Amino acid sequence: EDQVTQSPEALRLQEGESSSLNCSYTVSGLRGLFWYRQDPGKGPEFLFTLYSAGEEKEKERLKATLTKKESFLHITAPKPEDSATYLCAVQAFNTDKLIFGTGTRLQVFP
Amino acid sequence: GAGVSQSPSNKVTEKGKDVELRCDPISGHTALYWYRQSLGQGLEFLIYFQGNSAPDKSGLPSDRFSAERTGGSVSTLTIQRTQQEDSAVYLCASSLEVAGARQYFGPGTRLTVT
């Protein structure tokens, strides 16, 4: 069964304190791994798609990496506006749906 | 341009009543998805449309749930005889019909069954 596990469930950081969020997955043939950001009361906002092991993508203070079993979302020198829930999802080759993890709730304090 | 829109944004209903949730996808997006997000849980897939047909209904939790899409655009998710466990945020997403395409999400409809 396709499955996504995210850790930690919650993360509190001081502004400027870099860290990483983990997304472990099992899937019957990975078509893509997706990272989304979700603010309270809003729908998920797309961040990145990674397609193959070794791939990396960056956007401002965020960098996503992918191996055959997990993905990391690295946050460098976070700011309070980076506070949100970060969701990881996988899409298998034989389907179009996304399988989501339960997310990591990030809080960045000034 | 306009994103995915959903209505209503909030819906409070009594147990046993039927509800309809609406999704307007991004213009030109042929693929449309419904997900459900319950408190403390991840997004749960419900159903996927390609055009007006639904090749994957595997996530619908019971026969009280149904969905349709007309004109390759607007979709309606209907829940009959609502139960308290149906309380959740219902999210709609749309995408181009391309393998691995990103899904654009709407703001969701928060359903509360009392």
Reported as a single tens digit per residue, the pLDDT across B73-112 is: 999 999 999 999 999 999 999 999 777 889 999 999 999 9
Q: What is the CA radius of gyration of chain A?
A: 13
User: In this structure, what DSSP letter does residue B101 have?
Assistant: P
With helix as H, strand as E and coil as C, how does A34-101 read? EEEEECCCCCCEEEEEECCCCCEEEECCEEEEECCCEEEEEECCCCHHHCEEEEEEEEECCCCCCEEC
Q: With a cut of 90, say whether residue A1 has pLDDT above it.
A: no
Give me the amino acid identity at A25.
Y
Distance of residue B8 Cα from the nearest chain A Cα, in angstroms: 14
In this predicted structure, what is the pLDDT of residue B39? 84
Flag whether residue B96 sits within 8 Å of chain A, measured between CB atoms.
no
pLDDT for the residue numbered B73: 93
Q: Residue A37 — left, alpha, or beta (φ > 0 → left; ψ -120 to 50 → alpha)? A: beta
From CA B113, how far away is CA B72, in angstroms rounded? Answer: 30
d(CA B31, CA B84): 30
Q: Does B31 touch chain A (CB under 8 A)?
A: yes
Size of interface A-B (CB pairs under 8 A): 57
Q: What percent of chain B has pLDDT over 90?
A: 88
Cβ contact, residue pair B56, A95, below 8 Å: yes
Please choose, from the candidates A99, A103, A95, A45, the residue with its C-alpha nearest in 3D space to the C-alpha of residue A73.
Answer: A103
Is A34 close to B104, i.e. CB distance below 8 A?
no
The whole-number average pLDDT for the span A35-49 is 96
* Confidence at residue A61, expressed as pLDDT on a 0 to 100 scale: 97
Distances (CA, A) of B53 to A1, B68, B70: 25, 8, 9
DSSP B35-97: EEE-TTS-EEEEEEEETTEEEE-TT--STTEEEEE-TTS-EEEEE-S--GGG-EEEEEEEE-S
Nearest Cα of chain B lies from the Cα of A39 at a distance, in angstroms, of: 10
